[in-house]
Amino acid sequence: MRSVIQRVSQASVTIEGQKVADIQHGLLVLVGFEDADTQDDITWLTAKIANLRIFGDENGVMNLSVKDCSGDIIIVSQFTLHALTKKGNRPSYIKASKPEIAIPLYEQFIAQMETELSKKVQTGQFGADMKVSLLNDGPVTIVIDTKNKE
């Protein structure tokens, strides 16, 4: 499971002209799944994201998590995070899970994140052509892969 976490002061997702998600302060989380991902990966990654201390405290030091500052989260599935670019110029997505595997993982990821935060999260729509808008705050962008728990 691979994710890109962006601290945002505004983010939204629009599908076919309709805004389906909109937050003002929090995290935009892009997440991609592969067949080897398990519930353990979901549990580990959602806890890591919910508790990442990347928001400023009263002294401007990144010392608070999204939970600490009552921030919101938008989760967007993105299979292109598993792009293989070693050969040629056309990325291969062979490592990305097919929908029959990825959709249940995505739904479990959302549910686990809501448990971590004790509130609803907003989402994109799996497989849709989404327009994602964000104002990256900082900028702060962190990449986490559950296969490299670093």
Positions marked active-site: 78-80
Q: Is-contact 121 66, C-beta < 8 A?
A: no
Distance CA(148)–CA(11), nearest Å, equals 28
Sign of CA dihedral 109, 30, 132, 12: positive
Q: Is-contact 25 75, C-beta < 8 A?
A: no
Q: What are phi and psi of 60, to 5 degrees?
A: 80, 10
Distance CA(142)–CA(145), nearest Å, equals 10
Alpha helix locations (H) across the chain? 39-51, 99-117
